[in-house]
Amino acid sequence: MPRPAAAPPTGPTAKDAPGRERRYDVDLLRVVCTAAVVLVHAAAEFTDAGHRTTGILGDSAGRFAVPVFFAMAGWAALVGSPVRGDAQLLTRLGRVLRPMAVWTVLYLLWQYAAGPSFEDGAAREAGNALSGSVEAAFHLWYLYIYVPLLLLLGVAVLVVQRRPAPRRSLILLAAFAVAPAAAGDLKTLTGLPLPAWNWSVSLYALGYALAGAALLAARRPGPRGLWIAGVAAGLVALTVYQFTVRHPAAYGSAAVAAVTFAVVGATAGVRVPERARAVLRRLSDASFGTYLVHLLLVMLLVRPAAQHVSHGIAAPLALAVTAAGAVVLSFAASVLWGRLGMRRWLG
């Protein structure tokens, strides 16, 4: 059977979940959220270029994407395809870390070659990537949370299921747990300007994962019309919040949470037509690679447009066109290297 869709970084394979039907509604959610992430980063370019209204509107339209990815991650880890052993959990982590490392190096090389130059030096920037903070590929911050979240949920599943003790995963989880304090102590003892350790699970991410698992696993999440109305109302409220209170809105804020759960509820259980499933499956499988490469396309396509477009209606039109172009090209690139058998390394 085809694998169920999970969060953008990785998903269980057919070997992980024999006999399980593919959740095409989750595939749809995954593709929509991947495109929304591109929109958020494209909108940030317009905000930085002085088009505040356009930037806030674009950001509000896609702000739900990252929390929904955490929700899908929770569903995959706890319901869709829970791990059955220590080795399987570590294999899943490897599927995330391998392309993550490759793209970190590629973005570091890109910034070194194309500029702007590294503020603290190339060597320090590379060191920061190991501790969880790399400016050249800032969009990878999600993975610095997702990896320990996946590890935590996986170990919890194995403990609850009374599987053999996942010794290697437990050691790795313990290392993640003590690393922040250890990094601070080492900085104090040596006096070196060591970066902080940012591989950690945020409480809001864990909350989205658990609530998302429950909502996506529910047989009847409720009337779809009400969820869709909730999406519309939530987007309006979030936009007002970002104009008047805080921009960008924190992912753990009530405004973002409301839109997040409304989007999940509106999509959960939706029936995807048979004729669209093959394309949707291909795009879903390409979502992680799209997420990894899209920042490069945003810099190449969106940034110049944001810096040169005039104010007024031209700005939101430019955002819509360039963001759509970045989405299409990012998905196309990921589909291409998937067909070439390079997904193992490029996502």
For residue 76, which of 159, 3, 164 has the smallest C-alpha distance? 3
CA atoms within a 13 Å half-sphere pointing along the CA-CB vector of 44: 15
Q: How many helices (H) and strands (E) does the chain have?
A: 15, 0
Q: According to the model, what pLDDT value does residue 306 have?
A: 97
Identify whether the C-beta of residue 296 lies closer than 8 Å to the C-beta of residue 17: no
**pLDDT number for residue 263:** 98
What are residue 150's phi and psi, to 5 degrees?
Answer: -60, -40
Mean pLDDT for the chain? 91
Amino acid type, 295: L
pTM reported for the whole predicted model: 0.91
Region of residue 310 (left: phi > 0; alpha: psi -120 to 50; beta: else):
beta
What pLDDT score does 124 carry? 75
Q: Which helix (H) or strand (E) holds 146?
A: helix 141-160
What residue has token string 């490069």? 296
Tell me: pLDDT of 12 over 60.
no
pLDDT at 17 over 60: no
Peptide bond into 116 cis (omega under 30): yes
Whether the pLDDT of residue 227 is over 60: the answer is yes
Structure tokens at 40: 């958020």
Largest interatomic CA distance in the chain: 62
Confidence tier at 134 by pLDDT (50, 70, 90): confident
Stretch 215-237: mean pLDDT, rounded? 94
The answer, yes or no, to whether residue 13 has pLDDT greater than 60, is no
pLDDT tens-place string over residues 25-75 = 999 999 999 999 999 999 999 999 999 999 999 999 999 999 999 999 999
